[in-house]
Amino acid sequence: MADETVADLAQLYLGNILYAMELAAMGLLEQGKVEDAAYYRGIARKLAEAHGRERAAAQSKS
């Protein structure tokens, strides 16, 4: 466990991270903070897209 990197952990828990970011965005929307919600959704979108590219690259190698 000591040799796990941030990237390893983020990949392992990506679904949980994306879910939490969406909950945060929804809470921000309820508070009327539309721009803040969009910011967190933008980060989540970038993470999801990067994961998709990584998976596609791994599949094309096999």
The domains of the chain are located at 6-61
**What per-residue confidence (pLDDT) applies to 61?**
86
User: Could you tell me if 37 and 21 are in contact, meaning their C-beta atoms sit under 8 angstroms apart?
Assistant: no
Range list of β-strands (E), the chain:
none
- What is the three-class DSSP state of 55? helix
pLDDT, one tens digit per residue, over 7-40 is: 999 999 999 999 999 999 999 999 999 999 999 9
User: Could you tell me if 19 and 40 are in contact, meaning their C-beta atoms sit under 8 angstroms apart?
Assistant: no
Q: Give the CB-side neighbour count of residue 34, counting CA atoms within 13 A.
A: 0
**What per-residue confidence (pLDDT) applies to 50?**
94
